[in-house]
Every structure is written in structure tokens, then in C-alpha cells.
Homo-oligomer: A and B are copies of this chain.
Amino acid sequence: MKRNLLFLALLVALGSCNQGQKTDTAVAETPVETPKQSFGIVIHGGAGTILKKNMTPEKEAAYKAKLEEAIRVGYEILENGGSSMDAVEKTIHVMEESPLFNAGKGAVFTSEGKNELDASFMEGATLNAGAVAGVTNVKHPISAARMVMEKSPHVMLAREGAEVFAKEQGLEIVDPSYFYTERRMNSLKRAQEKEKIELDHDDKTAAFYDADIKDSKFGTVGCAALDKNGNLAAGTSTGGMTNKKWSRVGDSPIIGAGTYANNKTCAVSSTGWGEYFIRGVVAYDIAAMMEYKGVSLQEASSEVIQNKLTELGGTGGIIAIDHDGNVAMEFNTAGMYRASMNASGELYIGIYKE
């Protein structure tokens, strides 16, 4: 009896926690499905000062079309009983191949005019993980991250070493010029002009408050998925920060900050001002809060992004999915390119705050 009351209280609590979530309905609408077969996928294409007034209808349509194309690739894999790891990897490939996002083909330039790419990958069933930092010639950094996880005894490989490994594993190697885009080169030039002004004024952080440069620094892509076997996975891929120096490493290749997945709780991918995501251990913090405080994914995500990250001064967002298929898409910026699909095939695409 006591147990039933407790269970009831838990249900009420969970019900109130899930307000505003979109994908819970899937299971309710298709009662023939057992909970085991619940599945879902959620992606982001970066968070930042994304304002409707700065968008053309064409640009908006292009982003939405690419987000839909990407998420449908992963959704199909999941629907056909494929693994969340395959769904995450293949979905991210689509975004890495698009110049719209700051990952793969659309990567931003370092201060030396190079493209240095980071990615990480994590499997919720085993807590296995892999990451690469600063690769310049691997077409799909997310696949290099997965390879590090599956084919090396290591979790994180950097720069030339990671490139040698990726080549040894037979991954597609491209000439670094593959990553050249005029748009990103212009961002670098703008950032470097801005920097000159900063040096004159002795204010080394001003660039962070320039919306153009802030935007060009965001655009990381990520994906989190739950498959029909109840396995979670997450991945993140980025070109880093425009005009970055000193081989800066952001949060995207850092397990716990940029990416985290654990079947016990959730799978998370981060995007935003990486330094704050590292200091806040953001991706893992959401999972830890769920595990140790027993709160819902939505509650944990909201607390971490809207309160903890914001208090620290950081900007950005996360996408996440939990072991029941509930999805969270939290950000404290003006916008975040994002999409989700649930087990019923319902598609959600968003860019701005709603």
C-alpha cells in the first residue's frame, strides 16, 4: 500500500516535471508499443545570437531543410531497429557535409587560417567513449571519434596523432582545402580586424561580445538518440572557434562537457561557448542531477542551462534524450538550430525561442 502511494507520488512528480516536453506523447498515442520499443532522436546545429530579423526566408528554409534531412537519416536507422550509435554517426555526417554548420565542411578558421576539427562520441550502454581534437584532414571527425572508441585503447587523440590513427583505420582523408569556405574566411577576417581594435583598447574579451563573431564561433553540431533496444548514444562535432589561437581545445571533444551518454540516465550533446561548458562539466552535470537527485531530464537540463550555466556567464545550449525517449532542447541564447523525432514519427524543427 505504502509502495503504491509512493509510486503514485512519483508519477505525479514526474508528470509535473515533464510539462512542456514534446515527445512523451509518442508512447501514449501508440499503446501497442511496449516501452522497450520507444525510441527517438534529437539534434542541434549550434546555438547563438540567431535572430529572425537577421534571417532571410531562404536561409531559414535552408537550415530547416538540412536539419530535417539529417534527422530523417538517423530516424530511419532507429525505426528499422538499427543502433543509436549508427543513428548518431550518420545523422552527424549530413551536418558535417553541409557548409551551413560549423563542423566538417563548414568549419571556421583558426587565427592561422587553418580548419582544426574536434569531435566526441559516447555509448550509453558501456560508457565507452572516443574523441579527436584538432584534426585537419579527416572528412568526418565524428567517425574518427567513434573509431577511437571502438578501435583504440584510448578515449582522446589529438592533432597529427589522431590523423595518423584515422588514416590507419581507413577513414576518408581529404585535403585540408576541402574545409575552405568563403563565408568562414570572411568571418576570420572580421574577427581579426576586431582583434586589432581590441589590442588598441586593451580589452581582450571584446570579440566575445560581438554578435557576428559570437555566431561564427558557434554552430557546432550534435545528436543524441535512443534505439529500440534501450541504448543511448551521443555525439558532437565542431570546427571550434573563429580566430582561435594556441591550439585551443573547446568542450566538443571533452567527454562530460561536450558529450555524455549513459543508459541509466540520458544522452547529451552541448553547443556554445566551450570554456563555460568545460568548467560546468555541462553534459555530465545533467546526467548526474538526474541520477543523484532523481529529477527529470527536462528539470535537470533547465537547471543546468538556465541557472547554473547562466550564473557562470556562459551561453549556449544542449539537446538530450533520456532512457524513456523524453527529449530536452535547452538554450540560453536567442536561438538554437534543433530538431527532434519521436517513435510516432512526429517531427519538430526549431530555430528561435518560442
Contacts and interface: CB of A to CB of B under 8 A. Distances in A.
A280 interface: yes
Q: What's the dominant secondary structure at chain A's contact region? A: mixed
Nearest to A120: B278
A147 to B, nearest CB: 11
A160 interface: yes
A46 interface: no
A81 interface: no
A275 B148 CA distance: 11
A352 B121 CA distance: 37
A136 to B, nearest CB: 13
Contacts of A122: 279
Nearest to A207: B153
A3 interface: no
Contact of A279 (B165, B255, B288): B255
Copies in the assembly, this chain: 2
A129 interface: yes
Interface residues on A, range: 35 or more
Contact of A157 (B127, B204, B247, B260): B247
A64 interface: no
A304 to B, nearest CB: 11
A108 interface: no
Nearest to A274: B155
Contacts of A256: 254, 256-257, 278, 281, 284
A153 B204 contact: yes
Contacts of A260: 281
